[in-house]
Chain A
Amino acid sequence: MKIKEFLKENNLSKGDNVSFLLKKLNIDDENILKRIEDNIGESAKMSKSKGNTVDPEDAVKEFGADTVRLYILFTAPPENDFEWSEDGIRGAFRFLNRLWDFVTSKINDLKDVNYTSEELKDVRGRAKELRYKIHSCLDRYLKDIEKHYQFNTAIASAMILLNELEEFDPRDEIDKKVLKEGVEILLLMLSPITPHICEELWKLLGKENYISEEKMPEVCEEAIALDEVEIGVQINGKLRGRLKVKTDEKEENIISMIKSDPKLGKYVNGKSIRKIVYIKNKLVNVVVS
């Protein structure tokens, strides 16, 4: 049978979505459609006539409302167009599974831990480093939302925070307190975006209030004002190592530290320094001849 006749018999036209043709041809390998779309597909607003819609009801059935909400807000800033992708929504679903697994695995450890923000202000060492990370993530999150509701980058900060919390292995009571603070802040940050999972985990953590009625956590200024920061050291634009220095350290002190550092010293000693580019608390680039 000619293609023309086949299309007519199946009530199809050349302007229809190729997925209808594949169905009629009994090609049900979804990877084929995916490869066709990846190779020659074009992006267009979802519409019935193009047959490229995703039914929200189906998406909720497959992944849940929180995943759909997270995916939509994470994929692009609100005012930009974005292209729906199966990989994207699966990524959002994986993230929520990770969040669930992580928090539920810590519940026994953390449920009965109590802390006040006052007592955490003076923690030292690893606990202090973790607090720095927690509150920097929160700080960035709040600023991104303040600035024209940039949920995509705000959510990225929450994702980074989950990584940090997962990597942290609490050794004593203080560590646990800080970890609990971190988990709580993470759930509060995510609650406007994925309210159901956060509400459930909040309750599992032993909280009595609804997370939907909680206040937005505030950034602890002491926590993000670390007295030591790690900066990158570049020699002639190439990253050669990192240095732990005082916050806002002076340029001349940084240079003498580089000179006396066993690893970094060899790049500069005996050479003349032509130029120094120093971005406080972040990076120094030393240009030598």
Chain B
Amino acid sequence: MKGYNPHEIEEKWQKIWEREGVFKSSEGERKKKYVLEMFPYPSGRIHMGHVRNYTIGDAIARIYKMKGFNVLHPMGWDAFGLPAENAAIKQGIHPAKWTEENIAYMKNQLKRLGFSYDWSREIATCKKDYYRWNQWIFLKMFERGIAYRKEAIVNWCPHDETVLANEQVIDGKCWRCGTEIIQKSVPSWYLKITAYAERLLKDLEKLEGKWPEKVIAQQRQWIGRSEGALIRFRVEDETVEVFTTRPDTLFGATFLILAPEHPLVEKLAKKGGRYKEVKAFVEKLRGLSTRERTLIKEKEGEFLGVYAENPANGERIPVWTANYVLYEYGTGAIMAVPAHDQRDYEFAVKYGLPIKYVVMPEKEIRGEAYEGEGILKDSGPFTGIPSSEAKKKMPEWFKEKGFGEPKVTYRLRDWNISRQRYWGTPIPVVYCEKCGIVPVPYEDLPVELPTDVKFTGKGNPLATSEEFVKTKCPKCGSNARRETDTMDTFFDSSWYFLRYCDPANSEKPFSKEKTDYWMPVDIYIGGIEHAVLHLLYARFFQKFLYDLGLVKDEEPFEYLLTQGMVLKKWVSIGKLMEDLGVSEEDDIETLKKRIHEVFG
């Protein structure tokens, strides 16, 4: 008998399995298992992280098959995205061609590893028979007010010239190229994921014990529910709304702060006769990125020259603007309680503003804010009760008195899906001279990506296609302009697991019959880096589609396995030099000699 020759037998069996359709799957009577690995971006070649991900999934799929389950184990390509466009800019190759070639190469690499995929279900999100259903889902969202357009201050990557979602900003930098992001006002399409915040949070309970605790915790934190109160302060003849998680400290509020971007800042400063000073201060801050703003150590502010009335006790309190209050959080304005918030305390000390303690700890407190619980004092009808109790009772009292109410807020923000890029799903909307925003009718889908575009590296290539941009209004026939924004690719991956159940359907995104049989995904395997991006969006889409009556489950992924990383030892040149005690000024022959002496 001859020795072990892996290449000969592996390639032989891969061909046989494919020829015989051993891993083809179809709906049936048997109990099913849907085993899914996160589909890759077709970057060119697979890396060891992919191999680990897919090997784990493959072993699981094969085991379920052996255990008698009807197994669905598909694979596909998350094929839209920036690298293809960058290749077009750098190498002059069309993104479609670049992507196709990469898919072909990587598919061969996967086949060579013997994974038990049902390749007849392969999908690529850049194909129009896939992305037309992105557009279909978008229109459904538009009809229900879940997709909407708004002019907004967004995270803008100056390098890629594109908008980034909050989730794509890592430490104030672009998640893809690492450039520091800046704030910019751009009209954009949003998905109202916040309408689902409570359900996304609540249903995490259903996943306990089946999803890694770490992922559940990260989602919980990302959604960031906090209970508190909304309070309205009168300032001149305007109203400033404030959200606080410490309604029990309202009697200690000694000034108000509006974020520099707050629309009332300039108006109030004019009234207060401090326009010049305030304007200069706001201008100075405008050039800073959000990251720089959050990292600010030295608190600075300007008095607007006007006063508000503290609605709890009628006291006149000054109104300021300051660099440490961010417009994106809460209502963009805060009530400052320096006695019970350290940041407000530091600001009050710097500018000589009053500090009034209204929650008394057991021990005496001096020289800092007291942020803990205690007994209320100088707090009108609430004097003498514990702060924990006041937190519950006071918002109700605000409501009774008509200047506020209890409120729950979330850290979660609506999802900006607009990208000023070519290689993505066109947003199916036209702008008519007469009718304004008009959705493309379902029967006109897909809105196809044009091919006559120029890739210069600046701005949106889609806007360079006359043929694409110029169109007629589907409602009135007047001249109209097509939306040139394309969708964030996370849109594509938010429902692809449903398409695998029915990949060739040309009537709708998927048939309910088929998804009812295969869904939910029984085990989903991928990296933990997707904890709050993809995994939250996919849950959101599933719930939206559930509300439309298109799927039977409220959660898409039953069990989640987040695989570990593949590491490898390495040594940098600098580290070796340090270890050998040589410096850059030494001769190269010395280094060579030392290497042989120590490691030879």
Interface residues in chain A, defined as those with a beta carbon under 8 Å from any beta carbon in chain B = 1-7, 12-18, 20-22, 25, 27, 29, 32, 35-46, 50-57, 60, 63-69, 72-73, 76-84, 96-97, 100-101, 104-105, 107, 145, 148-149, 151, 188, 191-193, 195-197, 199-200, 210, 212-216
Contacts and interface: CB of A to CB of B under 8 A. Distances in A.
- List the 4 closest pairs (A to B, CB-CB), nearest first: A64-B6, A14-B574, A192-B62, A41-B569
Residue among A53, A65, A96, A149 with the highest chain B CB neighbour number at 10 A: A65
29 contacts: A14-B574, A17-B570, A18-B575, A27-B596, A37-B569, A41-B569, A44-B568, A44-B570, A46-B47, A53-B47, A53-B568, A55-B47, A56-B46, A56-B48, A60-B113, A64-B6, A64-B10, A66-B6, A78-B563, A78-B564, A79-B562, A82-B567, A83-B567, A83-B568, A97-B4, A100-B4, A213-B65, A216-B66, A216-B68
A76 B590 CA distance: 41
A1 B589 CA distance: 8
A32 B568 contact: no
A15 B586 contact: no
B388 to A, nearest CB: 39
B542 to A, nearest CB: 24
B564 A2 contact: no
B571 A17 contact: yes
A84 B566 contact: yes
B212 interface: yes
B10 A66 contact: yes
A37 B569 CA distance: 6
Interface in B20-47: 20, 22-23, 45-47
Contact of B59 (A15, A52, A73, A76): A73
B592 interface: yes
A14 B573 contact: yes
Contacts of B563: 78-79
A13 B561 CA distance: 39
Contacts, number: 247
Interface string B311-338: 0000000000000000000000000000
A30 to B, nearest CB: 12
A199 B12 CA distance: 10
Given A57-B109, A69-B113, A32 B60 contact: no
Contacts of B10: 64-66, 196
A42 B570 contact: yes
A13 B573 contact: yes
Contact of B48 (A35, A40, A53, A213): A53
Interface stretch (B273-281, B350-358, B410-418, B577-585): B577-585
Interface stretch (B50-58, B217-225, B419-427, B511-519): B50-58
Contact of A44 (B55, B567, B574): B567
A213 B22 contact: yes
Contact of B51 (A39, A72, A82, A83): A72
B114 interface: yes
A9 to B, nearest CB: 10
Nearest to B579: A40
Interface in B86-112: 109, 112
A149 B561 contact: yes
Given A66-B10, A69-B55, A210-B22, A42 B109 contact: no
Contact of A46 (B55, B568, B574, B587): B568
A151 B584 CA distance: 48
B13 interface: yes
A152 B320 CA distance: 62
B574 A15 contact: yes
A68 B113 contact: yes
A84 B584 contact: no
B600 to A, nearest CB: 6
B313 to A, nearest CB: 55
B116 A25 contact: no
Interface string B425-457: 000000000000000000000000000000000
Interface in B227-252: none
A83 B47 contact: no
A13 B574 CA distance: 8
A43 B56 contact: no
Given A15-B572, A41-B571, A66-B10, A82 B588 contact: no
B22 A50 contact: no
Contacts of A52: 568-570
A50 B45 CA distance: 18
Given A56-B51, A196-B13, A197-B6, 19 more contacts: A2-B588, A7-B584, A13-B573, A14-B584, A27-B595, A36-B595, A46-B48, A46-B568, A63-B6, A69-B114, A72-B51, A72-B55, A78-B563, A82-B567, A96-B6, A197-B9, A212-B116, A213-B65, A216-B66
